[in-house]
Chain A
Amino acid sequence: MSRSLLSRMAGLVRDSAVYRSIVRHGAADTNRNRSLIVFENLFLHVHPVKVREKTLKFSHTYWLGGITVSAMVVLICTGILLMFYYHPSVPQAYRDMKELKFVVDNGVFYRNLHRWAAHLMVLGALLHMVRVFYHRAYRPPRQFNWVIGVVLLLVTLLLSYTGYLLPWDQLAFWGVSVGTNMAKEAPILGPPLRFLLLGGNIVSENALLRFYVLHCVLLPSALLGFLGVHIWRVRKDGGVQGPPEPPSDDDEVEP
């Protein structure tokens, strides 16, 4: 009795103009409708509609790309939370960092989560590259996606490095002094590049603001853009490439 009422109400909702304007496919009853659910959803459509069962096995990819992306999602969420308290100015930046650590409720948790997720993202990206290399997944047709992956690693490292200055403590200050002096040693372009990056000759308030903008706006946008291309290319190149097939017994072996 109640069941039929429930299904009648569900039917009413499903047939309503508002629901039909949002969801255009029917219930997930046929393969066609199951496919449409994936095709017509912005968030699901990065996934293939069908995958081979073996690609879901842990040992196929060790889920390293997924782990890296998950760390990125954690970083974006915790980073936005940190931005609510942080001023990129001297000496307020250091005070804000202390406030997050000792005063703000859960501040130390979110700050540490941001830091550990950053370490995990760099480690995940590196291991993902190692996995792709040893599985020979960089070979045609995936050579372009390998290049995109290298760019993603560079952007990840730059994000990690620009974030290093933001606490404005001794470690940050000297870390960035040393790093930008390394950049200065590049021929011809090195010194002007360092000047533009720091907004001056020394690591100062200008440098803090510039690193903040790079860390919170420019580099994350670049990362999301390249990540979109990267995942799209995985689909276009025929899905994730796992370990190479072992030679079968039928293969003839030269004595």
Chain B
Amino acid sequence: MREADEGMTLPTRSIDETRRDFLAKLGLGACALTAIGAALTVVDYLEPKVLFEPPTEFKAGNIQDFPDGTIKFDEVHRAYIIGGQGGIFALSAVCTHLGCITRYHADEGVIACPCHGSRFDPEGNVVHGPAPKALPWLQVKADAEGNLTVDTSVVIPHGKVLKV
């Protein structure tokens, strides 16, 4: 009788403990899921959904304004619109080193960055470091009347000039 009792009680106890462990794990898991969910909603919340930044596409004048050798700097959109190489092309004015805005120096014929001294030629190639890459070329489009549109978010291969 006594042995039978022990035989009965032991497995019951171990089942109880397993159940307690299981519930504890379930509770911890639920807490962890809630914490992860809360963290995800916070990250999502912190990501702005509407930005009031200048549009990437902008009007850049007419083809006739850009004869060979013209360089126009658009300060708001951070781009150069250049007449040359038998057509028109646009360069990003954002230095490829750490994002400062470059300026064109007509007397030396170079684009220079004020922050760390990088220099580029008017085609965007690096003349002097620390800039690691050439200035990207940006997409230029012309409509039937020759009105130009530049998109700073579309980078095109170097040397792809809009032929006039």
Contact = CB atoms under 8 A, between A and B. Distances in A.
Secondary structure type dominating chain A contacts: helix
Contact of B99 (A181, A196, A199, A206): A181
A196 B53 contact: no
Contacts of A69: none
B48 A199 contact: yes
Contacts of A181: 98-99
B1 interface: no
Interface residues of B, number: 11
A183 B145 CA distance: 44
Interface string A12-37: 00000000000000000000000000
* Chain A residues touching B, range: 10 to 19
B115 A200 contact: no
B103 to A, nearest CB: 13
Given A195-B47, A196-B43, A206-B48, A177 B98 contact: yes
B99 A201 contact: no
Given A177-B100, A178-B99, A182-B98, A201 B53 contact: yes
Nearest to A178: B98
B139 to A, nearest CB: 18
A202 interface: yes
Contacts of A199: 46, 48
Interface in B98-147: 98-100, 115
A110 B46 CA distance: 33
A196 B115 contact: no
Contacts of B51: 200-201, 206
A202 B115 CA distance: 17
Contact of A204 (B43, B47, B53, B115): B53
B100 A174 contact: yes
A174 B53 contact: no
Contacts of B98: 177-178, 181-182
A181 B115 CA distance: 13
A174 B53 CA distance: 17
A196 B46 contact: yes
Contacts of A202: 53
Contacts of B48: 199-200, 206
Interface in A200-217: 200-202, 204-206
Contacts of A195: 47
A178 B53 CA distance: 19
Given A201-B51, A201-B53, A178 B46 contact: no
A254 B154 CA distance: 74
A181 B100 CA distance: 9
A178 B95 CA distance: 10
Contacts of B53: 200-202, 204
B100 A196 contact: no
A92 to B, nearest CB: 16
Contacts of B43: 196
B47 A178 contact: no
Interface of B: 43, 46-48, 51-53, 98-100, 115
Interface of A: 174, 177-178, 180-182, 195-196, 199-202, 204-206
Given A181-B98, A200-B51, A204-B53, 5 more contacts: A177-B98, A177-B100, A178-B100, A196-B43, A204-B52
Q: Which 8 A-B pairs have the closest CB atoms?
A: A181-B99, A178-B98, A181-B98, A200-B51, A199-B48, A177-B99, A196-B46, A202-B53
14 contacts: A174-B100, A177-B98, A178-B98, A178-B99, A178-B100, A180-B99, A181-B98, A181-B99, A196-B46, A200-B53, A201-B51, A202-B53, A206-B48, A206-B51
